[in-house]
Amino acid sequence: MERHAALRVTEHSHAILLATLDRPEVANAFDTAAALELCELFERFQTEQRYRCVVITGAGDRAFCAGADLKERNSLSDAQWRSQHEIFERMFRAVRDCPIPVVAAVNGAAYAGGLELVLHCDFAYASAAAKFALTEVSLGIMPGGGGTQTLPRVVGERRAKELILAARPFSAEEALAWGVVNRLCEPGKVVLEALLVAERIAGLAPLAVRQAKEAIRQGLHRDLDSAMQIEIEAYNRLVGTEDRREGLRAFNEKRKPKFEGR
């Protein structure tokens, strides 16, 4: 287990990491130090090939993440605020650009930057007791971690405008119906369910998973012809891999494949 000031990182298996925002006294809000720890964790996956999936959650059962730590921000000058926000921007990019799947296990409230963090993950499971909101306009600011861009892409423009412009909280049931989360779990079981799907992902061909994720991300907002070309280029990168040969051998030999990521 890696222990930092604000982030607890546990190796669930040889291929899966569980990252827990560990500041329950402030609803797992991220301060500058916590954001830098998240940057360090997620940026390492750009070069490190060991892990195949990451699950991110919050400590306790009250909050996943309440966003930025407003007590810390209360003492910042305008220049310091902008400087800090650049670190937050780097953190969100690191999660968004992570080459391996990132699954959010939303154990409680996901507000402001906490919801933006969920939206930058590849998909999310949530406790049935979880709550969601982009509350920034109630504080004189606006979403600055991608919320005005990611939420409309998930729930649609008009619903996103209602949620953002009215700072309207929404329930776990609404989050499921609108596609913000993929599954609701009994309170206390969301991390277990997220780790189970992470185990399934980790058992599949890691190069194929990475290429499929990148093809989805790159192609989603292109025209169909361009997106199809992106897919074919990603597909062709896999043809010469040992994992592709192992998958075919295992199918014909009626056994479980042993993928090694090469």
Q: What is the pLDDT of residues 110-151, one digit of tens each?
A: 999 999 999 999 999 999 999 999 999 999 999 999 999 999
**pLDDT for position 72:** 87
Q: Which of 89, 116, 157, 214 is catalytic?
A: 116
Interatomic CA distance for residues 170 and 177, integer angstroms: 11
| Cβ 117 vs Cβ 68: under 8 Å | no
The answer to whether 136 is a known catalytic residue is yes
**Domains observed in the chain:** 2-202 (3.90.226.10), 206-252 (1.10.12.10)
9: helix, strand or coil: strand
Report pLDDT digits (tens) over 49-99.
899 999 999 999 999 999 999 888 888 899 999 999 999 999 999 999 999
Report pLDDT digits (tens) over 213-252.
999 999 998 999 999 999 999 999 999 998 999 898 989 9
Q: Which of 25, 43, 48, 136 is catalytic?
A: 136
**pLDDT for position 80:** 92
**pLDDT for position 23:** 95
**pLDDT for position 2:** 55
Angle at which helices 147-155 and 113-120 cross, to 10°: 60
**pLDDT for position 4:** 57
The answer to whether 25 is a known catalytic residue is no
